[in-house]
Amino acid sequence: METTFMLCRMSCIAALIGSLAACSAPAITSANSTDLANQETIQYTVGPCFGACPVYTVVIRPNGRVEFEGKQHTAVQGTRVLSTEPAIYNQVKSQLKPYRPVEGSTETTQCENQITDQQTYQIVWQKADGRQTVLHHNRGCLSETSRALNEVMDRLPQELGIASWIRR
């Protein structure tokens, strides 16, 4: 009887260990660690102008998570988080692709003519391992490329669902 009890107990322990193993995270292989290293966040910061322009930072993650931090002249001060679809991240990534500098570099958009006292943008593409690609852009740049980038940046708050957090 004691042997039967002991066998039953050992079987239960083995079953428990097996079920816990099934719940564990998958092992990191070179294939999925490469995918993880290639994932990146897109962050953009909108800087001040001469006046009461909104100043804020937005982080868009590959899983669709949008993080907003209102700093000055925004309807929402502080941090807010919104869950969207990964398709939103892919859409933003696609829209910003023509303006993205060479991987790992920091560049500034070139201005043919410039209006002063306009907002600035800093757009950062950051890999999971911390490597960054950075674009600095002044909204006052009057080139065709800069105008097109301004239009993309103007649409982002609505597309991301954060426009009401920005407007005062």
Q: Which residues of the chain have pLDDT under 70?
A: 1-38, 168
Residue 63 confidence (pLDDT): 97
Residue 145 confidence (pLDDT): 92
Residue 28 confidence (pLDDT): 40
Residue 156 confidence (pLDDT): 98
Which CATH architecture is the domain 40-166 placed in?
2-Layer Sandwich (3.30)
> 72-84, pLDDT tens digit by residue?
999 999 999 999 9
CA dihedral 158, 156, 94, 117 (to 10 degrees): 160
Spans of all domains in the chain? 40-166
Whole-model pTM? 0.78
- Cβ burial of 103 (10 Å; 0-12, 13-18, 19+) is exposed
